[in-house]
Amino acid sequence: MEWVDVDAVLFDLDGVLTPTAEVHMRAWKELFTSVLESLPDDSGADRSPYTDQDYFRHVDGRPRYEGVEAFLRSRGIDLPHGTPDDPPEAQTVCGLGNRKNVVFNELLDAEGIEAYPGSVRVLDDLAGRGTEVAVVTSSRNGPHVLRTSGLADRFEVVVDGGVAAEKGLRGKPEPDTYAYAAELLGVPVERCAVVEDAESGVRAGAAGGFGLVVGVDRGVGADVLREAGADVVVTDLAELLDGQTG
Ligand SMILES: [Mg+2]
């Protein structure tokens, strides 16, 4: 199906509408730097400074608590797992994961975030054509990111990590969250486009029988996105307007 023919577009958020990945990276850095600095001298752990390499090796792409666990293990730090209800002060894997979320939200409030200009152009164009839109994100921070970036008013349907947990929907690469958004919009999946920058998200779109899967290459690589099932790969959403797709 062609981009201009779809009745609804389901957008991933981080990396598709907003450049949020960098904020997540900085939140992790702030968290782990403070963890390492607070260790006593005789802890026996590797207290060398946290770097971006730690991020790519242990945290990137993993669910939040698993990322915490992997990093701590790499430094010889042993903390109890705890539970997802742990407060952000708790010295547990879950507590640290929850604290990362607090830091992320603080950074967002302090510095704001601007949507990708090309993505805003596409949203304007779709609004002008009366095409339905929704946001589908694994993150529980979705509504906060949408408000901060000024995009919240454009989306009546937002399926985020909180909605997924509440409804018992499986996460990407399963298509459940995208399918649920299509259902809420009242549009059959074969009339919907999915727009994704992550391999797992593209797989979700391909697995769900959606009419069009658009991969946005923000660094993952066009080949990887095509391999995962993207029908079209762009580096900026505005290419969809200019017809520079391929
Ligand atoms: Mg993304």
| Rounded distance from Cα 60 to ligand 1 centre (Å) | 12
How many angstroms does the Cα of residue 48 sit away from the middle of ligand 1? Answer: 30
Query: So what's the pLDDT on residue 138?
Result: 86
Phi, psi of 198 (to 5 degrees): -105, 145
Q: Which CATH class is domain 3-19+114-242?
A: alpha beta
Distance 38 CA to ligand 1 centre (A): 32
Give the tens place of pLDDT for each residue, 196-226: 998 989 999 999 999 999 999 998 899 999 9
CA 27 to ligand 1 center in whole angstroms: 17
Is residue 7 within 8 A of residue 192, CB to CB? The reply is: yes
Rounded to whole angstroms, the Cα distance separating 141 from 119 reads 19
Query: Where in the sequence numbering do the catalytic residues fall?
Result: 12, 14
CATH architecture group of domain 22-111:
Orthogonal Bundle (1.10)
Six token digits for residue 159: 């399926």
pLDDT for 174 equals 93
Model pLDDT, residue 154: 97
Which pLDDT does position 244 carry in this prediction?
A: 57
Dihedral sign, CA of 104, 30, 199, 73?
A: negative
Write out the chain's pLDDT in tens, 246 residues: 999 999 999 999 999 999 998 899 999 999 999 999 999 888 899 999 999 899 988 988 777 898 999 999 999 999 999 999 999 999 999 999 999 999 999 999 999 999 999 999 999 999 999 999 999 998 888 999 999 999 999 999 999 988 998 999 998 889 999 999 999 999 999 999 999 998 989 999 999 999 999 999 998 899 999 999 999 999 999 999 986 554
Per-residue pLDDT at 246: 47
Q: Which pLDDT belongs to residue 21?
A: 83
The domain segmentation of the chain, as residue ranges, is 3-19+114-242, 22-111
| pTM, full prediction | 0.84
pLDDT at position 99: 97
Phi, psi of 196, rounded to the nearest 5 degrees: -145, 145
